[in-house]
Structure 1
Amino acid sequence: MVPEVPETPIGIDDLLERVRRTLDRVSPRDAYDLARSGGLLVDIRYAELRERDGLIPGALVVERNELEWRLDPLGSHRAPEAVDHDLRVVVICNEGYASSLAAASLRQLGLRYATDLVGGFQAWRAAGLPVTEGRA
């Protein structure tokens, strides 16, 4: 289903609020537990942030502009981890804004359990969860 263009334009803050109402967003600890039980963490931060701040061990690194192509289970350019539409995916950006929009886009592709991390990578790190040196 292609999203409809609203008759009246809305601002990004309103769009973000609407999108987040459709997501079951997760805390850093919940994301960690989900990854340990077979879910997929997807880091969409750009290279400079990953190099500066580090990486989440085991997270799939996919730059935002490639996300839909790499996570679409039906796509010809999919990552090996994109096994089916029931995959539990947690999208992670730097602070939890772009990841909400990205997760909503994945949902439009049929990834029904796609969501994002509240507070992004910065919240993950602040929670004391594992981080490694930044090179993907």
Structure 2
Amino acid sequence: MSGPLPPDRPVPSAERVPTGGFEGYAAAADGVAGADRPDAADGAAGPPAHLGRDLAIYTALRFVMIAVLTGILTLFMPLVVALMFAIIIQLPLAWLIFARQRRKVNEAVATASASRRRHRQELREALEGGRD
């Protein structure tokens, strides 16, 4: 779906077209290597290091809750029915019981989202030439 560039947009030159990821675009627009940029050194563009860990812990806690509830419910009903009930029952229980872990995941996702948003804005500014 790419058509001709609008008349107000400059045509990119061959040396400005990067071949790598997002760092390549900002580096090509700035004329600076990606590692030399101040925001590339502090890792501001990536998600927080604890996002994956917090999400894995929260997910594991919910799976453990499903297993425990299924084990308890199998005393009263068939396994498949107990599993379905356990999945439904754990939704509000996990929301209440694991509230602290859920908040940690939400904060990490919000931080990663803000970082991506900031990096995207810097990239747009760099590509438009608005950056000094």
Same fold (TM over 0.5): no
TM-score of the superposed pair, with normalisation by structure 2: 0.24
Higher helix share: 2
Q: Greater Rg, structure 1 or structure 2?
A: 2
TM-score of the superposed pair, with normalisation by structure 1: 0.23
Higher strand share: 1
